[in-house]
Amino acid sequence: MTKLYFRYSYIYEESLAKLANEKFEWEDFQQTQKFVEKFGEYWEQHNDSIFNYYKSLGLTLPDFWLAYPINKKTGLTPFSDPLTFFIDNDFEKTCAVLIHELCHVFLTVSENINLSSALWEEVVRKYPLENFNTHSHLLVNLLARGGVVHIFGKDKAGELLLPERALSGLKKAWKIIDLKPEVLLEADPILAIRKL
């Protein structure tokens, strides 16, 4: 079973703080250490369900993954590799962000390249005028939505994913998705991508 481990690296956070022209303080370190413990316990409730869901779609996943929580930094957003996310005491929201970032990586794991390449080609063929970021998020948004719905149900997932529709890198993809009700009605995110 795939397991997500939360790893706090003060060196990593300090380096990102420098890139953002921010200070890294002892309080940041303490806050993150506490978060890792509490959020790790919360994630444990969902770990198996999340990874089993994605395996059921035919994705191959590694035995473990490392995720790095950091304090919010100006000009940075969570990103997938290395899996980096912001400390937020709204654990459901944080879980949805993590699922989104994990989906970016799922699609680039070598064992999944044939599937992700086929999906990518379909999306590029249907939306040739869109840019790389929009193409990427047409896949990731739907794949992540499936996992968030699986864990939290459709109504709560809608609430948790609503902020994504305002993010510059994701909103164009969501706009395309939202115009296709048949895509949002599809329970299998792989089939949903193919219905775009």
Provide DSSP, 62-131: -SEEEEEEE---TT---EETTEEEE--S-HHHHHHHHHHHHHHHHTTSGGGHHHHHHHHHHHHHH-TTS-
pLDDT at 32: 87
The overall pTM is greater than 0.85: yes
Instruction: Please tell me the distance from the alpha carbon of residue 156 to that of residue 16, in angstroms, as a whole number.
Output: 32
pLDDT at 161: 97
Tally of CB atoms within 10 A around 44: 11
The radius of gyration of the chain from alpha carbons, rounded to an integer in Å, stands at 17
Distance of CA 44 to the CA centre of its chain: 17
CB-based contacts of 166-169 (< 8 A; 24+ apart in sequence): 167/77, 169/77, 169/133, 169/137
Domain ranges of the chain: 3-106, 112-194
Instruction: Please tell me the distance from the alpha carbon of residue 104 to that of residue 137, in angstroms, as a whole number.
Output: 9
Which pairing describes strands 64-70 and 83-86: parallel, antiparallel, or unpaired? parallel
* Measured distance between the N- and C-terminal CA atoms of the chain, rounded to whole angstroms: 31
Write out the two tokens for 61: 């996943």
Q: Which residues of the chain have pLDDT under 50?
A: none
pLDDT at 27: 82
pLDDT at 28: 78
